[in-house]
């Protein structure tokens, strides 16, 4: 059993591992996007981690930008205040890209649910985008 100073030192030394976890989750999402585009035959798509956003996607059907937020299980679900902050950040980035003549298609992807906001079943009508547009290039909603 570590002493109190050892335990405090251990916790302080884990900041890099916690930050790295977020990047690994972001890379997982980018990999899933690549695999989905590849499985649908879009061999010309380009997926760039840390492009104009966490993940930038350019494909035959257009451009898309994905902001990825991760959270350790021990921290719990996102709070509504986190969602508000992240949506404001995404909106500011969206305006900058739009003003630069880039596509406005943007996704905010959260690893965990937002507390007290029900999550629809995967594949249900409520889980589908409001329009019949693509969820991301190469994939129908």
Rounded to 5 degrees, φ, ψ at 23 are: -70, -35
CA atoms of 72 and 8, how far apart (whole Å): 19
Residue 125 above 70 pLDDT?
A: no
Q: What is the pLDDT of residue 88?
A: 94
Encode pLDDT of 47-83 as tens digits.
Answer: 999 988 999 999 888 899 999 999 888 888 999 999 9
- Two tokens, residue 24: 């690994």
CA–CA separation, 68 and 59 (whole Å)? 19
In the predicted structure, residue 28 carries a pLDDT above the cut 90: yes
Cα distances (Å, whole numbers) of residue 117 to 8, 35, 74, 86, 108 = 35, 30, 19, 16, 16
Select the more confidently predicted residue: 16 or 52: 52
pTM for the full predicted model: 0.73
Of all residues in the chain, what percent carry a pLDDT higher than 90?
A: 43
């Amino acid at each position: 059993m570590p002493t109190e100073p050892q335990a405090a030192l251990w916790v302080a030394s884990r900041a890099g591992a916690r930050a790295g976890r977020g990047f690994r989750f972001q890379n997982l999402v980018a990999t899933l996007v690549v695999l989905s585009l590849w499985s649908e035959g879009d061999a010309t798509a380009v997926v760039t981690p840390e492009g104009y956003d966490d993940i930038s996607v350019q494909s035959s059907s257009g451009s898309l930008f994905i902001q990825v937020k991760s959270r350790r299980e021990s921290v719990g679900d996102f709070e509504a205040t986190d969602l508000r902050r992240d949506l404001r950040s995404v909106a500011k980035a969206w305006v900058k890209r739009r003003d630069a003549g880039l596509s406005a298609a943007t996704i905010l992807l959260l690893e965990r649910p937002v507390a007290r906001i029900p999550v629809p079943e995967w594949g249900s009508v409520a889980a589908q985008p409001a329009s019949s547009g693509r969820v991301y290039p190469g994939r129908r909603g």
